[in-house]
């Protein structure tokens, strides 16, 4: 640490690393959390031993203590610079809100606890941080210094070094100190530094990235926002209208031989559209919390409206009952209840291949039970996603003098607030 850290960064793009390089990065870049935990425990054993002869003391113990001191200083410098620079940025200060579309508890599969988490999914489970501290690591830093200020922490750690150097236990030094509590506080700070590093590297994982990559087997590209199921919804309607998608579904799964028309979309567009349709609807149900800006309609300005402008005021879903239109979470929960979305996507793509190969049965009414269920699911998910897009559009234009009919019931509450209240704390 030197006075260079008291200066503003010359390049505004250096702010991220400028805040972290106050000691945080240097203290955690070597070794893993587990190795840090083991070395810290070794220090604690030495400090609390009544017969500390120095035989177990090794050079790495002192080195590790110096690393801990650097970490503590780094956390303090981070808080100091963040306040002084009045620096605010979504990756740090963003609020996390309950997912208003979360699958209702009675419809969640048994593996839900393994698949879904209430926060961003890192490679290992945090043992010390709370949900709020993981989603906003600055809170963990502030909590760390709330009971002891920087000078108190440095005095304590310097006392540790002296005891080890003089082969003296912490109890013999006459200090009053809770060893295990301090151990847990330092572990918590180390975990918070790990999250801070990912923030600085713009690598803080979205809450459902692991589902996209590991469960659905889909590439994760184009940044944090691309993991939002609402952005996935925009992909569903990319240059596709509600009527064209619906007509294509009806022709792909016909129930009578007298149907006129055909699949409007190309086979390639149909494949991706129906895949995104199922994937978007399913992803809306996953994970307990979303970053606030995922639910901000002003930040989803690239959603394509699937309904022509002149028809928006009078448009009604064709496959959803009035009751289901007012309870989107329940409608989605029932649609995907007991369904393996990966298998469902595979079956739809198989159906498209059958269509391309000209192997359609002439007896259209002979759709099997599973195909009929898939047909209804696709049509209803299409209605649900269209309702959501129109609701976002309506809330974006509420101050532009454009009036749209309500999509969800609301009296004095906003649509999302009402859904959150109905679903409770998830």
Residues 254 and 325 in one domain: yes
Q: Which residue has the higher pLDDT, 86 or 99?
A: 99
Determine, yes or no, domain membership for 124: no
Print the domain residue range for 306. 209-423
Q: What does the pLDDT read at residue 87?
A: 62
Residues 254 and 320 in one domain: yes
Mean pLDDT of 34-50: 85
Mean pLDDT of 396-408: 50
Residues 148 and 235 in one domain: no
Q: What does the pLDDT read at residue 259?
A: 55
Residues 190 and 215 in one domain: no
Count of beta carbons in the 10 Å neighbourhood of residue 86: 6
Residues 413 and 358 in one domain: yes
Residue 175 in this model has a pLDDT that exceeds 70: no
Domain-terminating residue out of 200, 226, 249: 200
Beta bridge partners of 98: 289
Q: What does the pLDDT read at residue 296?
A: 83
Please give the Cα distance from 202 to 197 (Å, whole number).
9
Residue 425 in this model has a pLDDT that exceeds 50: no
Looking at the structure of the chain, the number of domains it has is 2
Q: What does the pLDDT read at residue 331?
A: 94
For the question of whether the overall pTM of this predicted structure is more than 0.85, the answer is no
Residues 276 and 189 in one domain: no
Please give the Cα distance from 169 to 51 (Å, whole number).
8
Residues 417 and 283 in one domain: yes
Residues 343 and 284 in one domain: yes
Q: What does the pLDDT read at residue 6?
A: 57
Residues 360 and 246 in one domain: yes
Q: What is the mean pLDDT of the chain?
A: 79
Q: What does the pLDDT read at residue 335?
A: 95
Highest mean pLDDT out of 37-51, 226-240, 276-290, 355-369: 276-290
Q: Which residue has the higher pLDDT, 362 or 249?
A: 249
**Alpha-carbon distances, residue 177 vs 172, 181, 403 (angstroms):** 12, 9, 64
Residue 1 in this model has a pLDDT that exceeds 80: no
Exposed, middle or buried by CB within 10 Å (0-12, 13-18, 19+), for 362? Answer: exposed
Residues 23 and 59 in one domain: yes
Residues 390 and 243 in one domain: yes
Determine, yes or no, domain membership for 220: yes
Please state at what angle helix 369-396 crosses helix 242-252, rounded to 10 degrees: 180
pLDDT tier for residue 416 given thresholds of 50, 70 and 90: very low
Domain-terminating residue out of 200, 220, 255: 200
pLDDT tens for residues 68-84? 999 998 898 888 877 66
Determine, yes or no, domain membership for 415: yes
Determine, yes or no, domain membership for 81: yes
Determine, yes or no, domain membership for 364: yes
Q: What does the pLDDT read at residue 49?
A: 75
Domain-terminating residue out of 145, 168, 200: 200
Residue 271 in this model has a pLDDT that exceeds 50: yes
Please give the Cα distance from 360 to 340 (Å, whole number).
25
Residues 166 and 231 in one domain: no
Q: What does the pLDDT read at residue 207?
A: 83
């Amino acid at each position: 640490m030197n006075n260079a850290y008291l200066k503003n960064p010359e390049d505004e793009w250096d702010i991220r690393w400028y805040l972290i390089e106050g000691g945080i990065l240097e203290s955690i870049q070597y070794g893993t959390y587990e190795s840090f935990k083991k070395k810290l425990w070794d220090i604690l054993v030495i400090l609390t031993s009544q017969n500390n002869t120095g035989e177990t003391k090794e050079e790495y113990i002192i080195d590790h203590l110096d690393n801990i001191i650097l970490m503590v200083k780094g956390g303090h410098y981070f808080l100091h610079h963040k306040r002084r620079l009045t620096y605010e940025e979504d990756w740090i200060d963003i609020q996390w809100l309950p997912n208003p579309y979360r699958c209702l508890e009675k419809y969640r599969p048994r593996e839900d606890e393994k698949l879904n988490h209430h926060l961003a999914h890192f490679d290992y489970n945090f043992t010390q941080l709370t949900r709020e501290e993981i989603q906003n690591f600055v809170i963990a830093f502030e909590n760390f210094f709330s009971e002891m200020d920087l000078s108190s922490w440095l005095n304590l750690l310097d006392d540790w070094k002296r005891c080890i150097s003089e082969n003296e236990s912490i109890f013999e030094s006459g200090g009053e100190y809770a060893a295990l509590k301090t151990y847990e506080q330092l572990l918590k700070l180390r975990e918070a530094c790990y999250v801070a590093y990912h923030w600085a590297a713009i690598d803080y994982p979205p809450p459902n990235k692991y589902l996209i990559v590991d469960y659905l087997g889909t590439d994760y590209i184009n940044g944090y926002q691309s993991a939002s199921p609402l952005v996935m919804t925009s992909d569903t309607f990319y240059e596709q209208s509600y009527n064209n998608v619906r007509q294509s579904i009806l022709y792909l799964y016909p129930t009578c031989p007298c149907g006129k028309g055909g699949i409007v979309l190309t086979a390639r567009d149909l494949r991706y559209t129906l895949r995104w349709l199922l994937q978007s609807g399913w992803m809306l149900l996953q994970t307990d919390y979303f970053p606030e800006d995922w639910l901000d309609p002003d930040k989803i300005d690239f959603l394509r409206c699937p309904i022509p402008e002149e028809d928006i005021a009078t448009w009604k879903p064709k496959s959803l009952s009035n009751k289901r239109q007012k309870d989107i979470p329940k409608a989605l929960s029932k649609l995907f209840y007991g369904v393996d979305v990966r298998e469902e996507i595979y079956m739809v793509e198989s159906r498209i291949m059958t269509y391309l190969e000209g192997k359609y049965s002439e007896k259209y009414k002979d759709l099997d039970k599973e195909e009929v269920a898939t047909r209804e699911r696709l049509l209803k998910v299409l209605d649900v996603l269209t309702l959501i897009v129109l609701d976002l559009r309506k809330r974006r234009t509420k101050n532009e003098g454009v009036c749209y009919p309500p999509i969800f019931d609301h009296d004095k509450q906003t649509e999302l607030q009402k859904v959150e209240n109905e679903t409770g704390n998830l």
